[in-house]
């Protein structure tokens, strides 16, 4: 249990999308220093592999891997699962609660990586994917953030360097605090879409799923650009297709393609890679630094939980 120091523990590193080798070495160093055993399940091909591996594990480190009721049923010794990343949409929190399993994540550890990806996509789009035609500069443009957590603030910091003006809406951060951090507070989600760039930094919940719809997207000015490094599901897919088809000025930059990419390509024609940019897989945290930061943070949180009783996030709190 939490706070029972000095016991032997088994930590399962279960990553269908594996960490970089250097990050795994650092995770293993943290685990070994606590006299724990690290069990690795990397690049696995199916859920059955995960179900077999969780038996006997006291703790789990995952990335975008699914921890649901079936996994928790097999994990007969599990006390804690840590997602090396932000959000909990791949963890069944109610099932964790029923099993007495603590869930944590590592918000902010990949903030710089995601922020740089945001600007990479923005520059590629603004300069027409470097096809030799005239594009435009980002200086003096406006960017609005839906959610103003660690990642959004990292993007905001880069935006300041580019001479952009930032706006933000976050239902959990008071307007005066947003202003203190250098962005202009916006009073509603709809108000964000009055600006050229809108960057999404919200979790996938019942409230946010498919919430970015035609009504919001249609409010955006000429050259309106939606940037999605959150979850592809927060955008209403059919509405996005309609807007891309009917507004030749509109751009969508997304860190992971929808399951069926062809209708999107058809909607923008030869502007794919300019008006419409998708990464081949979710790449926001895919840097060596973010791998190290998130993986090591997850390992340290597990050690802190068992050795010191630290529960930064607990469903039982």
pLDDT score at 286: 85
From CA 11, how far away is CA 20, in angstroms rounded?
18
The tens digit of pLDDT for each residue in 46-87 reads 999 999 999 999 999 999 899 999 999 999 999 999 999 888
Tens of pLDDT, residue by residue over 282-307, are 888 889 899 899 999 999 999 999 99
**pLDDT at 4 (0 to 100):** 74
pLDDT above 70 (res 314): no
The span from the CA of 129 to the CA of 250, in Å, is 15
Model confidence at 252: pLDDT above 70 = yes
Q: What is the pLDDT of residues 111-122, one digit of tens each?
A: 999 999 999 999
Report how far residue 216's alpha carbon sits from residue 186's, in angstroms, rounded to the nearest whole number. 15
Average pLDDT, the chain: 94
Q: Give me the mean pLDDT over the 186-190 stretch.
A: 98
Region 234-253 average pLDDT: 97
Span 120-144, pLDDT tens digits: 999 999 999 999 999 999 999 999 9
Contact 304, 112 (CB under 8 A): no
pLDDT tier, 317 (very low <50, low <70, confident <90, very high otherwise): very low
Question: Per-residue pLDDT for 231 more than 70?
Answer: yes
How confident is the model at residue 5, as a pLDDT?
76
Q: What is the pLDDT, as a whole number, of residue 89?
A: 86
Q: What percent of the chain has pLDDT over 70?
A: 97
Torsion sign over Cα 246, 248, 250, 256: positive
Mean pLDDT score, 157-173: 97
The reported pTM is 0.85
Whether the pLDDT of residue 312 is over 70: the answer is no
pLDDT score recorded for residue 285: 84
Residue 316 has a pLDDT of 37
């Amino acid at each position: 249990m939490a706070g029972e120091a000095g016991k032997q523990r088994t930590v399962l590193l279960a990553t269908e999308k594996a960490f970089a080798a250097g990050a795994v070495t650092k995770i293993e160093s943290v685990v070994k220093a606590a006299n724990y055993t690290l069990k690795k399940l990397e690049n696995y091909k199916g859920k059955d592999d995960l179900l077999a591996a969780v038996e006997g594990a006291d703790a789990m480190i995952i990335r975008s891997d699914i921890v649901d009721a079936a996994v928790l049923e097999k994990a007969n010794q599990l006390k804690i699962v840590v997602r090396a990343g932000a959000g909990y949409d791949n963890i069944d929190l109610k099932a964790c609660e029923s099993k007495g399993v603590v869930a944590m994540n590592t918000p902010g550890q990949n903030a710089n990586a995601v922020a740089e990806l945001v600007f990479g996509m923005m520059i590629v789009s603004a300069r027409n994917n470097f096809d030799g035609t005239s594009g435009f500069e980002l200086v003096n443009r406006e960017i609005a953030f839906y959610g103003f957590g660690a990642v959004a603030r990292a993007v905001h910091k880069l935006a300041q360097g580019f001479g952009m003006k930032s706006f933000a809406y976050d239902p959990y951060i008071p307007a005066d605090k947003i202003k203190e951090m250098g962005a202009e507070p916006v009073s509603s989600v709809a108000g964000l879409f009055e600006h050229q760039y809108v960057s999404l930094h919200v979790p996938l919940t019942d409230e946010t799923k498919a919430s970015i719809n035609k009504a919001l997207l249609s409010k955006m000015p000429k050259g309106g650009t939606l940037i999605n490094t959150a979850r592809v599901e927060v955008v209403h897919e059919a509405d996005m297709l309609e807007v891309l088809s009917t507004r030749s000025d509109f751009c969508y930059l997304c860190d992971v393609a929808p399951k069926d990419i062809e209708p999107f390509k058809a909607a923008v024609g030869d502007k794919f890679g300019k008006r419409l940019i998708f990464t081949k897989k979710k790449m926001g945290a895919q840097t060596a630094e973010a791998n190290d930061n998130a993986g090591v943070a997850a390992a340290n949180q597990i050690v802190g939980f068992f050795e010191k009783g630290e529960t930064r996030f607990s469903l039982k709190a």
